[in-house]
Amino acid sequence: MRVYLDNAATTPLDAEVMSVMCNVMESHFGNPSSIHAYGRESRTLVEKSRKTIAGLLHTSPAEIFFTSSGTEADNTAIYCGIIDNNITHAITSQIEHHAVIHTLEAMEKAGNIKLSFVNIDNKGNVDYAHLEQLLQTNERSFVSLMQANNEIGTLTNIERVGDICEQYNAIFHCDTVQTMGHYSHDLGKLKVHFLTCAAHKFHGPKGVGFLYINHKIKIKPFIYGGSQERNMRGGTENVYGIAGLAKAMELAYTDMEQHQNHIQGLKSYMIDQLQENIPGVLFNGETDKDKSLYTVLNVSFPEIDIADMLLFNLDIAGIAVSGGSACSSGTDIGSHVLTGIHASATRPSVRFSFSKFNTKEEIDFVVNKLRELFTVTA
């Protein structure tokens, strides 16, 4: 048996999405910027896809801009949101995705901003009172906080963050790469200025995503070139990727509650089985279903001699997962997220991430293999 439990890294392409993309590749090869019929057909498909996504998010198609990835969307929101609005102070957390942290750190190093980090607890929860303290300055701030951490799954109350940012006239950018397609987002109510997406996190294609830009915020392009994306992003649109993204979003929203229940059931079952079969197992981040991303489970295993080989042994057994540990030395980079929540530097940690395609039988297989490994090395 082969088991794929690394869906936070990327998800398998849905068969219906693949079918749509193949049809588009065959029938809509025209450049969307061309004025002839072939181009107009592709342009119509791009705009139809934009309208579909905007409808699901309760926003205007004019606020959706297609990108090559969530990373590009994050970089665009952060750099342009700060520079073009004359922001000199940014706030984030130590456990954000590197697409956010590295961008902000580079801007601080270049002298563009002063960077502050909001406090988090040992489960990755944001200290909202401290966020308010950081915002109580005479300068307008840029806040970048993700909705769900990609390694430990802890959820941030972005409605609350949005309210706080509005109170202090701050610009709010939210990385929703891990939650888009897994939770519903009502952008007509959510007080956010920028929001990001990557299609491959919810059974869409790699190489395409989008950036939501609230109409109240004005920025210049991050990538210059042609007049694509209403003069906001140069570069010929990835037509079949965009069509796949829209279809994946459509499917995700159609069956969202069913998938949530199925995947949360798998996660809860795995928690129970691990506690029953591996003494001393711990969990990084929140595990309460109301506080944790239901697709992610980060497990801290007991110290064993083969800790460095745990992922290798699982891979040999046909089990695909991600892993890491807190930084334990100057030469061990480790996981900045686990280091940020002060997780044990000596215990091996594994991120299991689930999708609608996983089964209870696969969870049993993985737990049994883990039990074998820890029994042999005990």
Let me know: does 207 contact 220? Beta carbons within 8 Å.
Answer: no
CA distances from 339 to 18, 327, 330 (A): 39, 6, 13
Largest CA distance in the chain: 69
Report the distance separating Cα 43 and Cα 246, nearest Å: 14
Report the distance separating Cα 176 and Cα 283, nearest Å: 23
Token digits of residue 284: 């990084």
For residue 351, give the 3-state DSSP assignment. Answer: strand
Instruction: Judge whether 327 counts as a catalytic residue.
Output: yes
**Phi/psi at 243 (nearest 5 deg)?**
-65, -40
Question: Catalytic pick from 22, 174, 197, 327?
Answer: 327
Amino acid at 333: I
**Phi/psi at 227 (nearest 5 deg)?**
-100, 20
Rg (CA), the chain: 21
Closest Cα to residue 266, out of 2, 4, 14?
A: 4
Report the distance separating Cα 275 and Cα 170, nearest Å: 43
Report the distance separating Cα 145 and Cα 94, nearest Å: 10
**Active-site residue list:** 327
